[in-house]
Amino acid sequence: MPLLLLDLDNTLIDRDAAFCAAVASFLTDHGLPASDLTWVTAVDASGYTPRHDVAAALTDRYRDVVPVADIRTLLDTGAADRVVLERSSRDALSRAQVAGWTCVIITNGRTVQQTAKIRNTGLDQLVQGWVISDEVGCKKPEPEIFQAAAATVSLPLTGAWVIGDSPHADIAGAHALGLRSVWVTDGRPWPTNSYQPTRVADDVAAAVSHVISASG
């Protein structure tokens, strides 16, 4: 069975929307300006800023009004508690499996947080496995995490496709291994000429359709 590797945050689920909702609630609960939402999300940078750096920035800004424990809770469970799986993404995974693909989530991040997202959305019932960088000791775009994903379901990487929103983590990782890929654009232009995705798509549902049609 061919292997389909799918990114989690901002590919299968809208992590940024969930984090924004968590921050908005955090600001309201602590009587902080709603306008700080822009600052917090900029510091977070879609999750690419290391957690300890985000925690340090928030602690410094709110040290006199917010308990450190509340900041930790926001960063540890805020997004994980609010993520949802869109019906279109759920249906796309079902279509991929009906077409014979083995679906594995491959995600950077901390084990507790990423596992909570997978289980809270029901993705654990819709894929055949997942790997999290914190668990395996390597992260995208390093080849070892892609190899670990394949090993999770005892399949070779040969013939695999990668779907993801990050040019650097997902598409560059696929390119380095000679794998085909679909970049989920979210309306963005492709940022580099040094490598290219095999296909581009507006969302994960369209990305899965590209994979199925290419293998048909």
Look at the pTM and tell me if it is higher than 0.85: yes
Residue 166, pLDDT > 90, answer yes
Confidence of residue 216 (pLDDT cuts 50, 70, 90): low
| In the chain, % of residues over pLDDT 90 | 97
Tokens of 20: 């924004």
Q: In this predicted model, what pLDDT tens digit does every residue of 102-135 receive, in sequence order?
A: 999 999 999 999 999 999 999 999 999 999 999 9
Q: In this predicted model, what pLDDT tens digit does every residue of 23-57 receive, in sequence order?
A: 999 999 999 999 999 999 999 999 999 999 999 99
Question: What pLDDT score does 2 carry?
Answer: 95
Count Cβ atoms within 10 A of the Cβ of residue 113 and give its class: 0-12 exposed, 13-18 middle, 19 or more buried: buried
Residue from 167, 168, 155, 134 nearest 51 by CA: 134
| In the chain, % of residues over pLDDT 70 | 100
Instruction: Return the residue matching tokens 């055949």.
Output: 128
Count Cβ atoms within 10 A of the Cβ of residue 191 and give its class: 0-12 exposed, 13-18 middle, 19 or more buried: exposed
Residue 71, pLDDT > 80, answer yes
Residue 95, pLDDT > 70, answer yes
Please give the Cα distance from 170 to 172 (Å, whole number): 6
Tokens of 192: 């580099």
String of DSSP letters for 126-157: TSSEEEEHHHHT--TTSHHHHHHHHHHTT--S
Question: What pLDDT score does 215 carry?
Answer: 80
Residue 1, pLDDT > 90, answer no
Q: Centre a 10 Å sphere on the Cβ of residue 182 and count the other Cβ atoms it contains.
A: 28
